[in-house]
Amino acid sequence: MSTPYQGKRRCFGEYRCTQCNRSWMSANSWANYGQECTSCKINVMPHKQRPLLKPDGLDKSDPEKSHPRELCQKCKALGRFCGSSYSRF
């Protein structure tokens, strides 16, 4: 379970499901956490990650609504939305 990004903050990640080839992106991507594919329900690790360039700008677009908590391993580990504590900095 390792990811290209190993920092402590969230970043931008690109995911591709190895089973159905579906790909998606997330601005709430974390080191060593994956997100589940909506159709296969398997954990997918990001194949590409990069730092968020404008986290404040992204947060304005209501990330909590667009972020699929039930699919995010970090949200599951925390038991809450994984981005909220960071957006207040």
Q: Could you say which of 31, 37, 45, 71 contacts Zn ion (CB under 5 A)?
A: 37
Comparison of 48 and 76: residue with beta carbon closer to Zn ion: 76
Upper half-sphere CA count for residue 67 (Cβ side, 13 Å): 26
Strand partners, 77: none
How many residues of this chain interact with Zn ion, rule: CB under 5 A?
Answer: 12
Which one of 11, 12, 13, 17 is in contact with Zn ion (CB under 5 A)? 17
Which tokens go with 22?
């579906």
Residue 45 or 75: which CB sits closer to Zn ion?
75
Q: What are phi and psi of 10, to 5 degrees?
A: -75, 160
